[in-house]
């Protein structure tokens, strides 16, 4: 089969499995989430808080090691804290781009930790069943779309660690996971260009 025919077949498969609809839905939700976050930040900045001063306080009060540690834990366990907060923090640091790359690396490593958590959960039947029910949609999508979902999880506002756990649970090929997850760096750089200008 030629490359062109493969692309046609892949495109048809994505249409049948509703990948494009999923991607559109995630992109819309991501845009709405970003708009809401920006709106909240602007309202807080204008009426209640000086966000820049708050970030400066974070920089002066907490050591970078402490912030990195909190972020690493968050990125390894369900991505509870939005990375954008930490990107904004890095904008106020002494070395913004170096700190940003440290954050991106911690996020990437957090995904690897999540992958191994998924593999560990796979060995405990009760927890495996419970987790599979909780993230059933991500597992189903991963089985349908493979690495493309890891790419989407790395780039868009799907919790990166949840995708990592799903990959570990179904034993998705680790080397492919590592490659697709590299797009996490791309996301951090894109977000930084926007956030660094704001803060």
Tell me the per-residue pLDDT of 14-31, one tens digit each, with 9 for 90 and over.
Answer: 888 888 887 788 778 777
Highest mean pLDDT: which range of 105-109, 123-127, 151-155:
105-109
Reduced to 3 states (helix: H, G, I; strand: E, B; else coil), residue 172 is coil
Instruction: Give buried/exposed letters for 25-39 (b at 16+ CB in 10 A, else e).
Output: ebeeeeeeeeeeeee
Which H or E element spans position 171? none
- Residue boundaries of the structural domains of the chain: 50-198
When pLDDT is cut at 50, 70 and 90, the band that residue 45 belongs to is: low
- Integer angstrom CA distances of residue 119 from 78, 105, 164, 198: 15, 21, 10, 40
Band of pLDDT at residue 52, cut at 50, 70 and 90: low
Packed helices 160-169 and 125-134: angle between N→C axes, nearest 10 degrees: 130
CA angle in degrees (0–180, nearest 5) for 112-113-114: 90
pTM value surpassing 0.85: no
Q: Directed axis angle between helix 64-76 and helix 83-91, to 10°? A: 160
For residues 165 and 114, is the Cβ–Cβ distance under 8 A?
yes
Runs of H (alpha helix) within 17-63: 19-43, 51-61
**pLDDT band at residue 195 using 50, 70 and 90 as cut-offs:** confident
The span from the CA of 132 to the CA of 22, in Å, is 20
Structure tokens, 115: 């992958």
What is residue 117's DSSP assignment? H
CB 181 within 8 A of CB 146: no
Of residues 173 and 141, the one with the higher pLDDT is 173
């Amino acid at each position: 089969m030629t490359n062109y025919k493969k692309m046609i077949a892949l495109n048809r498969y994505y249409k049948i499995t509703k990948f494009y609809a999923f991607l559109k839905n995630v992109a819309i939700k991501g845009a709405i989430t970003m708009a809401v976050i920006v709106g909240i930040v602007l309202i807080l900045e204008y009426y209640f808080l000086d966000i820049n001063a708050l970030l400066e306080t974070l920089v002066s009060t907490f050591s970078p090691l402490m912030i990195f540690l909190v972020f690493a834990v968050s990125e390894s366990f369900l991505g509870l804290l939005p990375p954008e907060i930490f990107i904004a923090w890095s904008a106020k640091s002494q070395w913004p781009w170096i700190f940003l790359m440290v954050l991106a690396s911690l996020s990437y490593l957090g995904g690897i930790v999540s992958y191994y958590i998924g593999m560990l959960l796979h060995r405990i039947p009760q927890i495996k069943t419970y987790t599979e029910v909780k993230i059933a949609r991500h597992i189903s999508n991963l089985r349908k779309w493979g690495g493309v979902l890891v790419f989407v999880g790395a780039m868009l506002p799907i919790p990166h660690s949840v995708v990592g756990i799903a990959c570990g649970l179904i034993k998705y090929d680790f080397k492919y996971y590592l490659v697709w997850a590299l797009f996490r760096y791309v996301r951090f750089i894109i977000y930084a260009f926007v956030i660094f200008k704001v803060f």
